[in-house]
């Protein structure tokens, strides 16, 4: 299994349980590992034989700007399913961090793993 990773992808989204927290977009940081068979791309050197990480990042930013989530877990599941379904990944490991959301914490968040 081959892996492409996108590290510390900063995105803006509306996230939080109380309505006031979702009223203004906040920064969320994503660390993403995408499992895919890159053997064909290694031979062809062609972008169409791999996952275009620029398109992945753009699509995530687009969908998170359009949606509001109460839970970090729901946001994470949304992103994983997007990558699995739209980009035909074999699996996704995702870490979602909300930086500086609570006093005395650098960040809080979740880490999930999904497969087809």
Q: Among all residues, which ones are annotated catalytic?
A: 98
CA geometry: angle 20, 24, 29, nearest 5 deg: 115
Q: Both tokens of residue 89?
A: 């990944």
Do residues 2 and 39 touch, judged by C-beta distance below 8 A? yes
CA geometry: angle 78, 96, 101, nearest 5 deg: 120
Q: How many angstroms separate the CA atoms of 50 and 42, rounded?
A: 9
Sign of CA dihedral 74, 80, 86, 90: negative
């Amino acid at each position: 299994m081959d892996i492409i990773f996108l590290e510390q992808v900063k995105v803006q989204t509306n996230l939080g349980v109380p309505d006031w927290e979702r009223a203004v977009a906040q920064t969320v940081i994503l660390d993403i590992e995408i499992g895919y068979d890159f053997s064909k791309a290694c031979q062809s050197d062609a972008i169409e034989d791999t996952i275009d990480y620029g398109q992945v990042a753009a699509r995530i930013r687009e969908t998170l700007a359009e949606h509001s989530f109460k839970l970090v877990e729901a946001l994470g599941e949304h992103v994983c399913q997007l990558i699995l379904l739209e980009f035909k990944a074999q699996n996704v490991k995702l870490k979602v961090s909300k930086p500086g959301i609570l006093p005395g914490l650098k960040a809080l968040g979740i880490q999930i793993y999904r497969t087809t």
